Chain A
């Protein structure tokens, strides 16, 4: 294996190209610093670019994310590596970090691809589409999603049968199976960690039947069903394609739950569930939407008003944690719960259940640094060493944390956290300028 590393020099390394990493990169770049933005996925935009609308403004998420992403992509001071991972960072001295980066081959020359989708049509392989959270399929030669950036085909080499059909139809000959993994050594003066979060895996709560009952989906799947770039052009339950009319939300799926090792609150699920409920009331005016909750946490600017608005629209809020879900023969679901208001255990029937899955840390970030160097909190979020004084400082001077890498938070808080991290990074760069 050829492990020769190309050497790169930048002022700042930003790890993660979601909304927090993007915002931090933009702030640094607008101040005149050269930034390398490293994203492990095939597109920028993280989770936000895949959302339907955002609370409490009900702005279309794609509409406010794509211009931001496109500004990042075009910025003369920002270089983007997608499908790339930072495997190691070593701090040599103040203002002097060395990072090892692995860039996986896309097997498509992005600069030549016109996203014409002929390869997609030609490819005989069908697999589940991860960008639609498994609701539909995609090909092994595919455009990740319609507003992806870069918008170019990619070859999913894990599932590719190397039949060569895509190569034959490609009008610009941009498919290249000889591409290899590239290795880089980066010298940077400061680092911003914006590695984001993972969604809670509902398979860890078997009593909710996710993966077993077809009409139990996650909130991210519902997010895709109601997005402008939705897969079905209507809302339907996956089991039989029926348009649902009794939809239930199960809040705190994997949050505030010590039995799955996550006793903390995920901070966003109440609000995104209320948002989805409002959108569903609009899309399916005859449907009943019920939200089962422990406490509704509508704490941010305009959130409480948004919650009251949902109640006014007729969303049904039931205080009670769902204990167990069972499936009927026709695919409908029976939810067993303690109705706190009535003080009794009840069962309710719904034809579709949405699990409001929570926020988990992305622990890979800890492995980038030498053993124990980057401190993590008990939940594997990046530890904030001076939480109240300088929330974006980590245990390593010159390494700052932005967005959900440090804790669950919503979009405005991620933007503020990214602003804070980039502000500290700019200060660090100015204070350590070589004289």
Chain B
């Protein structure tokens, strides 16, 4: 039972103190049983305050610490480490959230927000009295890393890990490496051919004896968790009659680099599949890369006038894809410049919704304007229309740039500037239980500061499987993911949280309800003295607590959240 508890109530600049009377909260709890110190602080997380807390722990001989501030997602780890620096066990620290749960939720009711904050802090004090020291589970990590997907991102991640003297298994579903990029000609911003870029990275990979490249292969199952994943990989028969090979690999971490699918327009969308001269941006890029001749031709017909329709499958007002695909403006403008340079008498008409050539890519937009490309713009409520008249394909727009004048262009070729969509095949996401965002791409832990980590420990995400990106951004993401995955295994030993479920084998009568409720497959069955009981795999258990309430005889206890602790908190929240 803790008897010397220190309580810190944070202003969070004004994020909390604008709505919660933090001084009143302090006064309301300072005389609670076990509390020897109660302070307010402007930013509890600031370095200077952290140092003060360490001093307080030592000076006042505290045995429990509580910070009432923001969400534990943000600062639980911060204050656990402060507690540790004060020579207390870090799991005796109790965090309570009076920002998201009090000040932000009740910004219209300052008195109510303050009262709620007081109860939350009192509940935390009740929990703190029972907090026991805990010790993390330690185990050895596998030193090999798997990379799934051998596009530019996956290959760069593999090169980077190989450079760090780490063995890599690079697994590619297709029979060839290089993904979409390997099929491109000259690329925006460098004019290097996509095929050359892919080839030079792949050649580099082939020089390395710590990289195993498996093409035509798919991961069919994964077991285990950070440090020790077992992946089952199936390699398709390379030739008729060859056997299908199934292999197993033990890896410490996995970099997921499964890429994107190009958006495929629906039949009739801007004339797609209605008119034979309406094609997608990838088709157009392949056409200008592969066609040689003075004049551009498509299906035997000469092409002079090209209409580009932007944001097809992106920024949809009614459709599913609300997001911007980021790479397409630059990509199509670069392709239009290439077409005009390579072939005679090309006239480019860009039907756009606002050009987004961000950063230095703006220079390409300027170049295209200088070579005489025409830009016409509409807003989202009035997209351009593609139709046929007298055997000609025409595009019509209410052009924002000329006072919404209705303008019409006759086009020999209509290019639908299609964006990126998440892979239709989500088998890898399902296998690792990777969460997805609103846009259905894989979600990172924190959009701003942790863009390659996922909530599944040991799994990182690289490249466009996380969201649309150009090649530069994909490579940066791949190298970041490689560094992060490497950091998991580089020390050889790993620690996991001790906050896991535990089974009272005397009470357990194995009904299997807990195993059904567990989202992480962490619960199995075993024989103890002739009786079947549930057993928890500590390295897989996340301590989510889903199993505890479904257990009929109440045989499962979640460490750090015992019934005693929770009941005492509820008592406080209910008004003592």
Contacts and interface: CB of A to CB of B under 8 A. Distances in A.
Interface string B49-63: 010000000000000
A74 B201 CA distance: 38
B493 to A, nearest CB: 13
B471 A63 contact: no
A64 B448 contact: yes
Interface string A298-325: 1111111100100000000001000000
B362 A256 contact: yes
A422 B486 CA distance: 12
A341 B377 CA distance: 11
A67 B75 contact: yes
B429 interface: no
A264 B362 contact: yes
A356 to B, nearest CB: 14
A149 to B, nearest CB: 5
B403 interface: yes
Interface string A265-289: 1110000000000000000000000
A370 interface: no
A331 B363 CA distance: 38
A278 B376 CA distance: 30
A68 B487 contact: no
Nearest to B201: A389
Contact of B197 (A227, A388, A417): A388
A426 B48 contact: no
A70 B50 contact: yes
A416 B473 contact: yes
A300 B437 CA distance: 13
Interface stretch (A24-32, A94-102, A130-138): A24-32
A187 B359 CA distance: 35
B119 to A, nearest CB: 23
Contacts of A238: none
B36 interface: no
Which of B187, B197, B356, B484 has the most chain A CB atoms closer than 10 A to its own CB? B356
Interface string B459-501: 0000000111001110111011111101100110000000000
Contacts of A30: 487
B192 A388 contact: yes
A343 B357 CA distance: 24
A129 interface: no
A426 B75 contact: no
Interface stretch (A6-14, A54-62, A155-163, A206-214): A54-62
A265 B479 CA distance: 26
Given A62-B13, A302-B447, A392-B479, A150 B324 contact: no
B452 interface: yes
Contacts of A229: 13
Given A147-B43, A412-B451, A303 B324 contact: yes
B404 interface: yes
Which of A296, A388, A391 has the most chain B CB atoms closer than 10 A to its own CB? A388
Contacts of B45: 63, 66-67, 70
A87 interface: no
A411 B482 contact: no
Contacts of B137: none
Contacts of A56: 447
Interface residues of A, number: 82
Contacts of A304: 315, 322-324
Contact of A228 (B13, B47, B480, B491): B13
Interface string A2-44: 0000000000000000000001000100111000000000000
Given A73-B47, A388-B471, A427-B160, A227 B13 contact: yes
Contacts of A178: none
A411 B447 CA distance: 9
A69 B45 CA distance: 10
A109 interface: no
A340 B354 CA distance: 12
Nearest to B466: A301
B355 interface: yes
A415 interface: yes
Contact of B359 (A115, A341, A408): A408
A415 B449 contact: yes
Contacts of A389: 156, 197, 200-201, 475
Sorting the interface of chain B by its residue count into under 10, 10 to 19, 20 to 34 or 35 or more gives 35 or more
A419 B160 contact: no
B455 interface: no
Contacts of B315: 304
B276 interface: no
Given A62-B43, A388-B197, A299 B483 contact: no
A415 B448 contact: yes
B326 interface: yes
A407 B359 contact: yes
Contact of A305 (B354, B438, B486): B438
Given A227-B13, A391-B476, A301 B164 contact: no
A60 B15 contact: yes
Contact of A407 (B75, B78, B360, B441): B360
Nearest to A27: B483
Which of B50, B324, B471 has the most chain A CB atoms closer than 10 A to its own CB? B324
A409 interface: yes
Contacts of B189: 387-388
B248 to A, nearest CB: 28
A103 interface: no
Which of B326, B476, B481 has the most chain A CB atoms closer than 10 A to its own CB? B476
B400 interface: yes
Nearest to B79: A67
Given A69-B47, A150-B47, A423-B480, A295 B42 contact: no
A246 interface: no
B291 interface: no
B165 interface: yes
A84 interface: no
Contacts of B356: 295, 297, 299
A422 B12 contact: no
B354 A295 contact: yes
A228 B475 contact: no
B487 to A, nearest CB: 6
26 contacts: A31-B483, A31-B487, A59-B448, A60-B12, A64-B446, A70-B50, A146-B43, A256-B362, A263-B366, A265-B361, A302-B323, A302-B438, A303-B323, A303-B324, A304-B324, A305-B323, A305-B438, A342-B403, A387-B472, A390-B475, A392-B476, A411-B448, A412-B451, A419-B483, A423-B479, A423-B482
Interface of B: 12-15, 42-43, 45-48, 50, 70, 74-75, 78, 156, 160, 163-165, 187, 189-190, 192, 197, 200-201, 315, 322-324, 326, 354-363, 366, 400-404, 437-439, 441, 446-452, 466-468, 471-473, 475-477, 479-484, 486-487, 490-491
Given A149-B47, A266-B359, 5 more contacts: A263-B363, A301-B441, A341-B400, A388-B190, A419-B483
